[in-house]
Amino acid sequence: MNKLILKFLWLEKSIAVCLDQTVGVKTTPLTEYFFWPQKDAWEEMKNYLEDNPWVTQADSIFLLNQITDVINCWQEKNPVYKKNLNKLSEKFPTCIKIKTLGQD
């Protein structure tokens, strides 16, 4: 079974997102990290998804909505999330792995 996974780097001055694909137990990166606000990470991911017809429209919409939600959460600068990224993983449990640099 194929599964698309969003990964985020939650940094002080930016947030980054990339897309991986899991097949069985193996995970393969599909994109580099797209950084926001340096660039429009949402738009870059949208372009990638549109350029790959094997990604369904439903998956694209779901992934882009998740990116929007996580970026909005990052913009809030909630200290609870900054101190405990597990809370973010609880808030966004589907297809998402969130980490800071230095975390596994």
Angle at 78 between CA 5 and CA 15, to 5 degrees: 40
Residues across the chain: 104
Domains in the chain, start-ordered, CATH in brackets? 2-95 (3.30.390.140)
Q: State the burial class of residue 16 (Cβ atoms within 10 Å of its Cβ: 0-12, 13-18, 19+).
A: middle
Tens place of pLDDT per residue across the chain (104 aa): 468 999 988 888 899 999 999 888 898 999 999 999 999 999 999 999 999 999 999 999 999 999 999 898 888 877 776 666 777 777 777 656 666 655 44
Predicted TM-score (pTM) of the model is 0.83
